[in-house]
Amino acid sequence: MQKLLFTALLFFIIVSCYAGNNYFISAAGNDNNDGLTPQHSWRSLGKINSMQFTPGDTVLLEGGTVFNGEILLDSLDSGTPEKPVVISAYGNGHAIINAENATGFLGYNTSYIYLQHLEFRGSGVDFNNGAGIHFYSDKKDRQCEGIRVENCTVKGFKQEGVLFSCAEGEEVKGFNNVKISNCVASNNGQAGISSYGGQTLFHHTNFIISNCKAFNNRGIIGKTDNHSGNGIVMGGVANLLIEHCLAYENGADNRCTAGGPVGIWVWLCKNAIIQYCESHHNHAGLNKDGGGFDIDGGSSNCIIQYCYSHDNEGAGYLLAEYGALLPFTNNTIRFNVSVNDGRKNSYGGIAVWGAAKNYEVTNTFVYNNTVYCDDANLINGTPSGLYTMGHEFKKVVVANNIFASGGKALAMYIDDAIDTSQLYLVSNNYFFKSGQAFVKTSINALEPVVTWLSNQHGQESVAGLSKNVQLDPGFKIGKSNLYNKDQFITDIKSKLLKQGISLSAMYGVDMPVKDFLGKPIGPHNVFIGATH
């Protein structure tokens, strides 16, 4: 009875909110009906495509029913801020759109479209040629706005599960004010959820992605010119928030040797925040990436915080500039946890890479993260807490982090000589479970961290005073390889809680008000690691 009452209430809310016509579609319907009641419903998706909807209209598909074909809307079907056009379900469960080899939904130059309680099915990566939900714009006068994708499931498409894209050209406007929430994207080829625009500006603005899952988006075996198999990857967006999302088991079929997929990441984005997310067991496919999180080429003013990365083949947290036409600058990775990332190809819990002199990672901070790695369940290579790839960095500060390691894992892998003007290490803790923490250098030499630091002018020192720390963080690691983030909370008795430097005092960094666990951080509270 309660379920029936809830369904009836949901139906009432959907059909009464927007004061337009309500159109129904069911397996027992007829396209010659007026569609205005469940008893006089339409039957096919083709009927939807033949209509021109007006602001406030709602299209309700029978829940639990499979409808073959695709849904196509254009600018003439747009809603308004007060009266969006809604496509949703009624009755029990999601309505199912079986797109077979095509795209499930295409919104072309549309604004104020809401998609709710729908499941889009493709015929699988090997057969399908489209995306699950695709909003596309080539408008030049103004942005498309007000799109909502809520409580939708998208699976079995060769390209992206959910995609926002636009034509090339600086005059093209893209999308604004987009929210994707409580969606599941799985078993797609290119990515679970994605966006892209041009290469020289941010076509899209003000996106929120929340409480979404992207998993088993394995990649496209026949695609070798670029990566595939990403979880959530957003490009071309200014003002982006990704929070409370989960990505796992993506990327296994990537076949690009030049680059690989990542669980959750951004590229060519500005003012993006990724927070409260988890990314784990993602795959490289071949020899690159397969990491948890990434701020990539052309991104600026982006932050990854309060996230948990573990058991990924690639880096837990990657900062990478591949050669974008916009600068990579003023990005931050802070108050995150990485556990046993770098299971393949010798990646680090945190990794930094710049492609060339003109494509550097600049003005970037990595602070108060907790990284643990050992040699459990390795595929190949040697993982490390911190991996610096090359030396194309400028004013990168790595401070107040815990780099803890065990087994054959390294504290750091520094594969090319760096000085403090490129990447400055200060007040980090290098801890090895049974003995000394080691660093591997560009000549493939293994040295204790203390020995290596003694030959690095200015590293781990402030005004000539050493800031190198090697203390036990007091992790509660069990005997099982089934690690979880709670095992890597710094013990309240650890001296690390009284160590560290003030980034606010040294660099004017605007510090957050809470740590990884949500515990408040006072204005003078300085410590090492993600928790205190």
Digit-coded pLDDT (tens) for 86-119: 999 999 999 999 999 999 999 999 999 999 999 9
Mean pLDDT of 502-531: 94
User: 29-43, 451-465, 472-486: which range is least confident on average?
Assistant: 472-486
pLDDT at 310 over 50: yes
pLDDT at residue 161 tops 90: yes
Instruction: Provide the CB-side half-sphere exposure for 353 (13 A, CA).
Output: 22
Minimal CA–CA distance to 63: which of 22, 84, 91, 99?
91
What is the Cα–Cα distance from 503 to 254, expressed in whole angstroms? 39
Cβ(143)–Cβ(173) below 8 Å? yes
Supply the pLDDT for residue 17. Answer: 57
pLDDT of residue 43: 98
pLDDT of residue 464: 87
Backbone angles phi, psi at 267, to 5 degrees: -145, 145
Pairing mode, if any, of strands 58-62 and 66-68?
unpaired
Please give the model's pTM, rounded to 2 decimal places: 0.95
DSSP state of 499: -
Residue 179 is inside which H or E element, if any? strand 175-181
pLDDT computed for residue 375 by the predictor: 93
**Cβ partners under 8 Å of residue 205, min gap 6:** 143, 174, 175, 176, 177, 237, 238, 239
Average pLDDT over residues 239-267: 98
What pLDDT, on the 0 to 100 scale, is given for residue 269?
98
* Beta carbons within 10 angstroms of residue 398's beta carbon: 25
Question: pLDDT band for position 222 (50/70/90)?
Answer: very high
Sign of the CA dihedral 65, 71, 76, 78? positive
Look at residues 53, 41, 190, 63 and name the one whose alpha carbon lies nearest to residue 116.
63
Determine the pLDDT at residue 170.
Answer: 87
> For 18-22, 379-383, 446-450, 519-523, which range has the lowest pLDDT when averaged over its residues?
18-22
Q: Tell me the pLDDT band of 491, cut-offs 50, 70 and 90.
A: confident
Q: What is the mean pLDDT of the chain?
A: 94
**Which pLDDT does position 480 carry in this prediction?**
59
pLDDT tens digits along 351-400: 999 999 999 999 999 999 999 999 999 999 999 999 999 999 999 999 99
| pLDDT (tens digit per residue) in 37-73 | 999 999 999 999 999 999 999 999 999 999 999 999 9
**How far is residue 431's CA from residue 47's CA, in Å, rounded to a whole number?**
65
Considering only 409-423, 427-441, 457-471, 480-494, which range has the smallest mean pLDDT?
Answer: 480-494
Q: In whole angstroms, what is the distance from residue 45 CA to residue 47 CA?
A: 5
pLDDT category at 445 given cuts 50, 70, 90 is confident
């003078």: which residue's tokens? 524
Q: How many CB atoms lie within 10 A of CB 355?
A: 18
Name which of 19-28, 177-186, 243-252, 265-274 the model is least confident about: 19-28
Distance of CA 138 to the CA centre of its chain: 26
pLDDT for residue 522 is more than 80: yes
Q: Does residue 11 register a pLDDT over 70?
A: no
pLDDT band for 7, please (50, 70, 90 cuts): very low
For 447-471, how does the pLDDT look when each residue is reduced to its tens digit (9 = 90+)?
Answer: 999 999 999 999 999 988 889 899 9
Dmax of the chain from CA atoms? 84
The position carrying tokens 């088991």 is 249
